[in-house]
Amino acid sequence: MTATSSTASVQLEPTESTALNARAAARAEARLLIDGELREARSGRRFDNISPATGKVIGSATAAGAADMDAAICAARRAFDETDWSIDRELRKRCLLQLQAALEAEREELREEIIAEAGAPWMTTVMAQVDWPLDDALLYPTELIDSFTWERELGVGKAGDGRRRVVKEPAGVVAAIAPWNYPFEIVANKLGQALATGNTVVLKPDPNTPWTSTRIGRLIAEHTDVPAGVVNVVTTPDNAVAELLVTDPRVDLVSFTGSTHVGRLIARKGADTLKRVFLELGGKSAMVILDDADVDAALPNTAQVCFHAGQGCAVNTRLLVPASMYEPVVNKVIELFSMLAPGDPARQDTVLGPVISATQQDRILGFVERAEASGAEVLTGGDKPVGLHPELAGGYYLTPTLVAGVDNSSEIAREEVFGPVMVVMPYSDDAEALAMANDSDYGLSGSVFSGSHERAMGFANRVRAGSFSVNGGLFYGADAPYGGYRASGVGRQNGIEGFEQYLETKTIGYL
C-alpha cells in the first residue's frame, strides 16, 4: 500500500511543459518570409511541430515547396544584385541593431519557444540556448562593421606601373542551413555574420524547430528596415526542397551546421557549382583527467553529457582516466549520474530533458544495445526512465548512461551518439592519453584537467581539435572562432575568422 501511494504521489507532481507549450503555440509565427512578405506556402501545406517533452503535436509550420524555395533564392539574388545592401554599411548596422532590439523585447517568448519545440531545459536557455547568443551574436559582427579592415593598400607593384589595393566584399547569396539542437544560437550567429558582411540570406531551419526562425523572420519584416529579399526564411520537411539551396547556381555559399553525414552530401552536391561551403559538423570529444588533477573539481564536468540530453556537437563523450584512478573515478561518475534524473524541461531545476524525437531516442538506444551485445558494460542508464508524470510519458526521455569495457575501435567510442551517453576508458600515461584523444575521425573539441597549468596547456596544444578547454575554461563567444578538424568540418563560425568566411577578396591595380 505504501509503495502504491508513493508511486501515485510521484505521478501527481505538477508538470509545466503542457502550459508552456500552449503559450508558445499561441504566440508562434508559422509563415515563411520571402521577398519581404510573410506568407503561406503556395500549396497551402503545413507540417506538425511536436513537443519532445510530451510527444504531442503543439502546432504547425508552413511546408514550403520547390516553388517557394525558388522564389526565396530569386529574391535573395535580386536583393544582392540590385539593392545597396552589399555596399551600405550604415544600413546594415542600423538593421542589425533594430533586429537586436526586437529580439530583446521578445526574449522570454523566445525562451519558452525553444523549450517547447527543442525540449531544451530552462537552465540551458540562460546560457548558450538564448541569453549568451542574444548578448553578442548580432552585436559583435555589427561592431566589426566599423573596425574591420575592408581595404588595404599594398603600394607599388614590382613592375612599378601602379599601386595595388586589396578589397574585401560579400560573397553573395548565402544558404544558411541550421540544425535543431541550438536553433536560435546557431541561426543568430549565422545571420549576424552573413548580414554584417553584406550578404543576402536564405535561412532553412530544421523541421523539428521551425518556430524560432520564423519568429526571426516576422521580427525582420515588422521591426527592421532590412530591404525585401535580403533575408528569407523557408521552413520545409522535404529534403528535396532543401537540397535546392545546395544545387542552385544562384546561391554562392552554403553555411551548414549539422551531422557529418549530411555535411559530406552538401560538399558533394555543391561541388558541381563550385560553391564555397562552411561545414560545422559532428564531434566525439575526449575529457582527459591527468593523474595530478583535482578529481572532485573535474568530475562535475562529466554532467555536460546530460545538459540538453547530450545533444551538442562539442559535448565531451569520451572520458579518459588514469588506470590507477579508474575505479574511484567511475564510481563517482555513476553517483553523479544517479542524481540527474530526466525531467520536465520547463522546470528551472531540470538538467536532463528529452531528446528531440522518437527516432533519435531509438537511435541512441541502438548504440547502447549494440555496445552491450559486443561485450561492453553499461554501468548505469541505457534505458528509458520510469515514473514520469503522465503528461510527459509520451516524451523522448533517456537515462544518463555510462559505458565501460570498450576501446577506441568500438562503434560507441567512435561514432557521434548525440545523447546522454558517455564511454569511459583507462590509459597508462600522458602519451597514451594524447594518442587516444587524437584517435578519432573527428576533431571538434575536448578538455583536459590537471593540477599543473603548464602540463594541461601542453596537452591541449597537442590535441588536434578546433576548440579545447583547460581545467574548465570556456572558449564560447561570438568573438571566438568555432569549428573543427578532420570530419568535424570545414571553416569556422564566429570571430574574425568566421566574419572573413562570408567575404571574397579582390585585388585591384590602379594608376
Per the CB < 8 A criterion, the answer to whether 465 and 475 are in contact is no
Which has the closest alpha carbon to 280: 354, 355, 193, 346? Answer: 193
360-366 average pLDDT score: 98
Q: How many CB atoms sit inside 10 A of residue 303's CB?
A: 18
Q: 26-65 pLDDT, tens per residue?
A: 999 999 999 999 999 999 999 999 999 999 999 999 999 9
Q: What is the pLDDT of residue 10?
A: 41
* Residue 11 pLDDT greater than 80, yes or no: no
List pLDDT tens digits, range 394-409. Answer: 999 999 999 999 999 9
**pLDDT over threshold 80, residue 287:** yes
Is 9 a residue whose pLDDT tops 60? Answer: no
Residue 13 pLDDT level (bands cut at 50, 70, 90): low
Share of the chain above pLDDT 70, in %: 97
Q: Which three cell numbers stand for residue 257?
A: 551546421
Strands 276-280 and 253-257: parallel
Residue 442 backbone dihedrals phi, psi, to 5 degrees: -100, 170
Is the confidence at residue 2, as pLDDT, over 70? no
Which residues are catalytic, by number? Answer: 280
Res 67 pLDDT > 70? yes
What's the confidence (pLDDT) of residue 158? 78
* Residue percentage of the chain with pLDDT more than 90: 95
- Residue 276's H or E segment, with its range, is strand 276-280
Q: How is residue 383 annotated by DSSP? A: S
Residues 367-403: tens digit of each pLDDT: 999 999 999 999 999 999 998 999 999 999 999 999 9
User: What are the tens digits of pLDDT across the range 243-285?
Assistant: 999 999 999 999 999 999 999 999 999 999 999 999 999 999 9
DSSP category for residue 197: T
- Per the CB < 8 A criterion, the answer to whether 257 and 277 are in contact is no
What was the pLDDT predicted at 157? 81
Which grid coordinates are listed for 297?
573539481
Find residue 310's DSSP bridge partners: none
Rg of the chain taking only CA atoms, in angstroms: 24
Q: What is the mean pLDDT of residues 355-369?
A: 98
pLDDT at 485: 97
User: What CA–CA distance (Å, rounded) separates 505 from 499?
Assistant: 13
C-alpha cell at 463: 590535441
Average pLDDT of the chain, as a whole number: 95
Name which of 70, 46, 51, 75 is nearest 220 in CA terms.
75
Alpha-carbon span 343 to 395, nearest angstrom: 10
